[in-house]
């Protein structure tokens, strides 16, 4: 089971528990054809066709939030897991055409050059 352990029951079905951050969700949605409309300190707004998805900038999405995001995006859970497996795992890797480059500072607080 990718990035998870057991499962969580939502609306009568059990989904595998997936630890996914807001940034990882954005990366997967970019691969699904969404484009970033805007970004703030607390969320990223993406759009594709007539669908608009607001992804909070959190370390881990709750299963309920993830389910709501996927419903808004019109993406099946299994398809989302496939997209997650295609996203870069290196924080410095930029997804093409996203306009965003993520960097994570070193854990010891040293400055990155």
Structural domain 20-86, CATH architecture:
2-Layer Sandwich (3.30)
Phi, psi angles (nearest 5°) of residue 111: -75, 140
Per-residue pLDDT tens over the stretch 45-77: 999 999 999 999 999 999 999 999 999 999 999
pLDDT for 15 beyond 70: no
Predicted structure pTM score: 0.68
CA quadruple 58, 7, 74, 30: dihedral sign: positive
Q: Domain boundaries in the chain?
A: 20-86
State the DSSP H helix or E strand holding residue 47, giving kind and residue range, or none if neither: strand 43-48
pLDDT at 18: 77
Per-residue pLDDT tens over the stretch 77-113: 999 999 999 887 655 544 444 444 443 344 444 444 4
Cα end-to-end distance, the chain, whole Å: 37
Contact 52, 92 (CB under 8 A): no
């Amino acid at each position: 089971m990718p990035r998870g352990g057991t499962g969580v029951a939502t609306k009568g079905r059990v989904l595998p528990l997936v630890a996914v951050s807001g940034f990882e969700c954005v990366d997967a949605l970019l691969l699904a054809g969404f484009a970033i409309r805007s970004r703030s300190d607390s969320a990223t707004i993406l759009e594709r066709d007539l669908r608009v998805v607001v992804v909070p900038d959190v370390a881990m999405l709750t299963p309920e939030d993830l389910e709501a995001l996927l419903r808004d995006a019109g993406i099946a859970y299994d398809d989302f897991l496939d997209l997650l497996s295609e996203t870069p795992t290196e924080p410095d890797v930029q997804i093409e055409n996203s306009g965003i480059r993520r960097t994570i500072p070193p854990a010891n607080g040293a400055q990155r050059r």
